[in-house]
Amino acid sequence: MSVSVHGFFGGMPLADHKAMAMQRPTQSIPVPEALYLPLKGHRHQPLDLHQITDHLAVSVGQQLAAGQTLTRGMGDAHPRLHAPVAGTFLGIVSRPALKDMGHDVPCLHIQTDRTQAPKKLPDDYPPNTPLPEITPDELMDHLQRMGIVGLGGAQFPTSEKMRQASGGIDTVILNGVECEPYIACDEALMRHRPGTIVLGGRLLAKALGAKRLIVAVEDPLKDSHGSVSDGFLACIQPHPLDPALDIEFIEVPSIYPQGAERQLIKTLTNQEVPFDGLPKDIGVICLNVATAASVADAVIENTPLTHRLVSITGPGIQNPCNVYAPIGTPVTDLIHQAGGFNCPESEIDLIIGGPVSGHTVSDQRSPIDKGSLCILALTRADRPNSVGSMPCINCGFCVSVCPAQLLPQTLFKLASQGAHEKAHQMGMMDCIECGLCAEVCPSHLPLLDWYRHSKDQLRALDMDQRRQALAKERFEARNRRLEQRQAEREARRQARRARLEANSSAQSEIEAAIARARQKKEGES
Amino acid sequence: MIPSVLILTLLTVSVVALILWVSRRWGANDDSVVEQIDALLPQTQCAQCGYPGCRPYAEAIASGEADINQCPPGGQAGVDALADLLGKESKPLNEEHGSHKPPVVALIDEDRCIGCTLCIQACPVDAILGAQKMMHTVLASECTGCELCIAPCPVDCIDLVPAQRPMIHPKPMSIDIRVQA
Amino acid sequence: MDWVFILISAALVNNFVLIKFLGLCPFMGVSSNIESAIGMSLATAFVLTLASVASHMISVHVLIPLELTYLSTVAFIVIIAGLVQLTELFMRHGAPLLHRVLGIYLPLITSNCAVLGVALLNQQQTHSLIESALYGFGAALGFGVVLIALAAGRERLALADVPDAFKGAPIGLVTAGLMALAFMGFTGFAKL
Amino acid sequence: MIGQRATLPHRPARRNVSQVMGQVLIALLPAIAVHAWLFGWGIFIQLALAIGFALSFEAVMLQLRQRPVGVYLKDLSAVVAAVLFALSIPPLAPWWVSGVGMFFAIIIAKQLYGGIGHNLFNPAMVGFAAVIIAFPLALTQWVIPRTLAQTVPDWNTTWVAILQGPQALGGTMDAISQATPLDQLRTGRLDGQTLSEIGIDPMFGLFGASGWEWLALAYLIGGLYLIGQRIITWHVPLAVLLGTIVITLPGWLMDPDLFRSPLQQLAAGSLVMCAFFIATDPVSGSSTPKGKIIFSIGVVVLTLVIRAWGGFPDGVAFAVLLMNMFVPLIDRYTVPRIFGHPKHKRDETRSVR
């Protein structure tokens, strides 16, 4: 049955500048001198060093083959890491984190031998490659072993996502909607390997028992050599691949932030993911197209997730392009590969991610990780030449564009005054950090920065409250234990006094004690 | 003149009688207030406020016996929250009871620990693992940093380590552009 | 039909706080946050309505037949004090936290000029029982609505960039002044 | 530079506050033109006075509050308040009327609350309300519109009236000035005349108020321009205009003698100006979509009540101030449903996900 496209509240079309990165063919970068694989766990449970050292599968100074497993045994939460290229392992070193300015992250340092040829973007599988027979559990374990995580940016382990969602899924959505300007890495992948993406989608759908597989793409993706949709239609239409599975290819209107998971699900299924729930609660699972491609590679070719497509683009880059780079490549090598900056570095603002919701890159030496979509270099000309921010005039432009249907100006007032609890009651945690409110704000207020700060404060507050509740519980349990012991001792003392006064005199007590002692001695001898 | 005095006394007596009857029938109950005060306290059970735990301190505040700024781990934010709850004016933290330090966690120096279990008995939240003459260690996730275990330790092998805090996205510069006078 | 007029006239046209300027001390004191403002308006509504009914009955059945009208102020104060004690007891039983937050402003209702004002005005304008009840309730409604509106406004002002000299009570008084200016729109209602 | 944290968004700046206010001023130009055509030079002098007072008061206060005077003056919000105020007072009102008006509007209603973005009440309306109470007589002496008197006072009578006040003109002032149609209706009602008796007077023209309907039309054009420029959304103006028609139509159909026709309500007073320029003031208006509707309906109802029974001819200013008073309360209880939340009220204590 065809899927009608419903809109979502708010959002705004933005000029997408994608052609800038797509004008050159996808390149692969010569093997950089050193790789630093970041070990940061999911953003809010930072790994501490003890956890890492006892899960290392290699020792310092050991020679590594390409694709060799580096860490193991950390369960679903932290999928394994693999060596992208052959080289020697030089232990754990800390490098500046890419997104969190001023913080460092522990990385596995690999000294690469530069003689080997760089790995190219593998080409597409023919559409009719047979699906290998694999049970859902086998698939999930295999994905965890192959280190597959969400490549859309959140880096959520795919195996854990599938395990949480097992049973109760009827639609799998492959999210090819790259709604943020300048970012074109997914588009390059969709142009080059549509068959692989559909194959990965079918594998996931079969494992999850889904009846429908939807590939969603933005509608304007047309350029000289045919549109993305022709590639997909070519490998879906000719022959029904899978009678049980109904595969559809949908072009959604390109309104930012259409690519956000909740907004895309609302557009395709007209259902809203509950605020305290996951897409699986409404029988949907949404994965990035790059994740689907890496699932197909992992199952068919047995290759771990070691490389990813990154767009190196922006007006400040000499010749912007998409690069198929190994995980852990420092940003300097990527920029060098794209021809460096075309104006003095003091003019450049380097950003990881898109211009609307990206993070400032603190230090060029920091390595990219599995969730880095785009390195963007903006020049002073693109920066708002505003005189700085004016107070909020409550004009309501941001209320009309906010896709989460919040009141950004009220949240801003509360967050900037530090009233994070009240902001939480006004829905601060429902903000999807798309950055549209800051985009349309006539006072140029740094709204997204404030919301990210407030959300982190709320997460820290929540962590503290949970620890406090635990401490209170343990304190009361300890008090109960002490009182109980006190009461028992008291009861024993009472009983002894009662016995002494009530019937026999102290004498019989002593004789009974002597008899007991003699009996014990005979027992031993 | 007489009837006016009579009327007034009659009126006052009847009103007083009504109040006495009502007050005996519906006594005051204060425990829900203690509950809410206790929820605001940081539960470190560190007794720096002069009371053997957070709950007793909450009862003292409810009965008016203790002041709202005697809890150093709660810091000034804690005092403001209590003032906000009770509708009082906020006060600066009373430094006598100790100053507000960033959250800390106890750490036992394993070479010097002699396994005397004195710190285990002293710990209000049972965050120290160990047995007689066995190695002791502190569970970092359970420890509230109340520093009660430092005093009883005969070999003084426990020191305080800053607790692991999650990363917070830095605050953007404030919005009001003040003229540098 | 004139019942509605009494209610509207007491609540809006000659509002006790913004036109007659009665009951200003709790108006400024309790309006710093909304919960205490709502609590205060409920308590005042309870006391006001009952006080106007009780004072009407006392004055019609006791004071006027015995020509003791010179006693009315004292008698009314005794009734109001009693009612305030009752409210305090109910509140300490029902909402102990609200009782603690209102603190001194609850017993202060006794000396609230709006409450005594209603009782005396009822007597002066010789309202019937129903009219005095409506008048009391209207006055309480007017007092409550304006108090809660000011509390919401002041909570928002706490986040505003008010010059330091005007932070807190001064800006609250300026807001109350502008509210009185707005209520001037109701003056001159032809019939009332 | 790299390493130095650039604040988001890394995007070319879209329109800023002064451009938004500039658009509002452009939308007011047709009204100023029609005002000048109807009542002569007075409006230009009033505009100059009001803007002069507004900017000087704002500059003084910004200096006192140690804020960068240049930046805040350029945001034109004081100019918009001054223009709206000048358009709502009689053209020949003496200069101290706009002086007092601007003092209340800029210093008390805006700067004391923290400057742009923080004021609780609409500055222009606070100024107008203060002035109409302080100088009741001066506020009733409007010039006879050109459609009735075929001529408008020339330059020097206007100049003398404004500089030295109406008594300097002596007799000629009564010849050229007259009360507004709304004022006439009110005094007629007080003397017990029915609407049809009052209506015979030529000043009521075709439908409501001769001359004034062109001014209402000019505001309508300006307002549609603003909606076209997406500065304001259509919700508030439509709610105000539709509300007026819906409330007054049944009364008028039932008894044209007692209730005025909706067209007269819109044409005579400044309800159309209020719909597009005053009720849509972003700062003092409600910020939630539902709240905006409640705010507009409230303004319409209160305006009509004050016009029907109140003591002032046109109750728009007081209606807006009264509704401004309740905006923080309205905002608190009309928070829109958040994406993914159930329809009924969110529970306050949900955990952080």
- D16/A contact by beta carbon, under 8 A: yes
Q: Report residue A373 as tokens.
A: 């979509």
Q: Is the pLDDT of residue B160 over 90?
A: no
My answer on whether A281 and A405 are in the same domain is: no
Contact between B104 and B145 (Cβ < 8 Å): yes
Domain CATH for B43: 1.10.15.40
- B144/A contact by beta carbon, under 8 A: yes
Contact between C36 and C95 (Cβ < 8 Å): no
| Distance (Å) of CA A32 to CA A62, A335, A351, A367 | 19, 12, 21, 11
Residue B3 lies in a domain: no
Give the phi and the psi of residue B106 in degrees, each rounded to 5: -75, 150
The pLDDT tens digits of the residues spanning A230-287 come to 777 777 765 566 677 888 888 888 888 888 999 999 988 888 888 888 888 888 999 9
CB contact under 8 A, A413 and C159: yes
> Can you give the pLDDT of all 353 residues of chain D as single tens digits?
455 555 666 777 778 888 889 999 999 999 999 988 888 888 899 999 999 999 999 999 999 988 888 888 888 899 999 999 999 998 888 899 999 999 999 999 999 998 888 899 999 999 999 999 999 888 888 877 777 777 777 788 788 878 877 777 766 777 777 777 777 777 777 777 777 776 666 666 666 567 788 888 899 999 999 999 888 888 899 999 999 899 888 888 888 777 777 887 887 778 889 999 999 988 888 888 889 999 999 999 999 888 888 878 888 999 999 999 999 999 888 888 888 888 765 555 555 54
Q: What integer pLDDT is reported at residue A76 of this predicted model?
A: 67
Residue B148 lies in a domain: yes
The pLDDT tens digits of the residues spanning A90-123 come to 888 888 888 777 778 888 888 888 888 888 888 8
**Residue A30's closest CA among A329, A310, A311?**
A329
Structurally, how many domains does chain A consist of?
2
User: Exposure pattern of C158-190 as b/e (b: 16+ CB <10 Å)?
Assistant: ebbbbbeebeeeebbebbbebbebbbbbbeebe
Q: Is the pLDDT of residue B13 over 80?
A: yes
CB contact under 8 A, B87 and C66: no
**Residue A162's closest CA among A207, A200, A216?**
A207
My answer on whether A138 and A281 are in the same domain is: yes
Residue B139 lies in a domain: yes
Q: Report residue D264 as tokens.
A: 């007269």
Which of C160, C183, C187 is nearest residue D114 as measured by Cβ atoms?
C160
Contact between D16 and A390 (Cβ < 8 Å): yes
The average confidence (pLDDT) of chain B is: 82
Contact residues, D window 70-89, toward A, CB-based 8 Å cutoff:
71-72, 75, 77
Domain boundaries, chain C: 29-149
CB contact under 8 A, C152 and D328: yes
My answer on whether A266 and A412 are in the same domain is: no
Q: What integer pLDDT is reported at residue D220 of this predicted model?
A: 92
Subunit partners of chain A (3 or more CB pairs within 8 A): B, C, D
Query: Measured in whole angstroms, how far is the alpha carbon of residue D221 from the centre of its chain?
Result: 15
| β partners of residue A214 | A173, A248
Residue B16 lies in a domain: no
* pLDDT less than 70: residues of chain A: 1-4, 40-51, 73-76, 220-226, 237-242, 382-388, 503-507, 525
d(CA B179, CA D98): 30
My answer on whether B36 and B82 are in the same domain is: yes
Residue A15 lies in a domain: no
CB contact under 8 A, C75 and B8: yes
> Can you give the pLDDT of all 192 residues of chain C as single tens digits?
678 888 888 888 888 888 888 888 888 888 888 888 998 898 888 888 888 988 888 888 888 888 877 888 888 888 888 888 888 888 888 888 888 777 778 888 888 888 888 888 888 888 888 888 899 999 999 999 999 999 999 988 888 888 888 888 899 999 999 999 999 888 877 554
pTM of the model: 0.86
Distance, in angstroms, between C174 CA and closest chain B CA? 22
Subunit partners of chain C (3 or more CB pairs within 8 A): A, B, D
Nearest chain B residue to C98 by CA: give it: B86
Percent of chain A beyond pLDDT 90?
Answer: 11
Q: Report residue A216 as tokens.
A: 């969603």
Q: Report residue C40 as tokens.
A: 């205060």
Domain end: A304, A338, A357, which one? A304
Q: What integer pLDDT is reported at residue A365 of this predicted model?
A: 85
Contact between A398 and D9 (Cβ < 8 Å): no
Domain end: A304, A319, A335, which one? A304
User: What pLDDT band is residue B63 in, cutting at 50, 70 and 90?
Assistant: confident
Q: What integer pLDDT is reported at residue C192 of this predicted model?
A: 44
In sign, the C-alpha dihedral spanning C4, C5, C11, C12 is: positive
My answer on whether A396 and A294 are in the same domain is: no
Which chain A residues are Cβ-neighbours of D7 within 8 angstroms? 446, 449
Quote the domain boundaries for residue B40. 31-97
Distance, in angstroms, between D18 CA and closest chain B CA? 17
Residue A9 lies in a domain: no
Residue B66 lies in a domain: yes
The DSSP result for B165-179, as a single string, is ----PPPPPPS----
Which of A44, A457, A478 is nearest residue B124 as measured by Cβ atoms?
A478
My answer on whether A175 and A297 are in the same domain is: yes
- A101/D contact by beta carbon, under 8 A: yes
Quote the domain boundaries for residue A254. 120-304
The pLDDT tens digits of the residues spanning B94-122 come to 888 888 888 888 888 888 888 888 888 88
My answer on whether B150 and B135 are in the same domain is: yes
Residue A30 lies in a domain: no
Contact between A424 and D150 (Cβ < 8 Å): no
Query: By three-state DSSP, how is residue B106 classified?
Result: strand
Domain end: A304, A322, A341, which one? A304
Contact between D112 and C162 (Cβ < 8 Å): yes
| Distance (Å) of CA D51 to CA A146, C10, D121, D124, D218 | 70, 40, 19, 12, 21
Residue B7 lies in a domain: no
- B167/D contact by beta carbon, under 8 A: no
Which chain B residues are Cβ-neighbours of D66 within 8 angstroms? 178-179, 181
- B171/D contact by beta carbon, under 8 A: no
Complex prediction ipTM: 0.84
In sign, the C-alpha dihedral spanning B144, B148, B154, B158 is: positive
Residue B25 lies in a domain: no
Residue A298 lies in a domain: yes
Residue A179 lies in a domain: yes
Contact residues, C window 115-134, toward B, CB-based 8 Å cutoff:
none
Q: What integer pLDDT is reported at residue B179 of this predicted model?
A: 37
The pLDDT tens digits of the residues spanning A430-444 come to 999 998 998 888 888
Distance, in angstroms, between C33 CA and closest chain B CA? 9
Distance, in angstroms, between A248 CA and closest chain D CA? 26
Structurally, how many domains does chain B consist of?
2
My answer on whether B50 and B77 are in the same domain is: yes
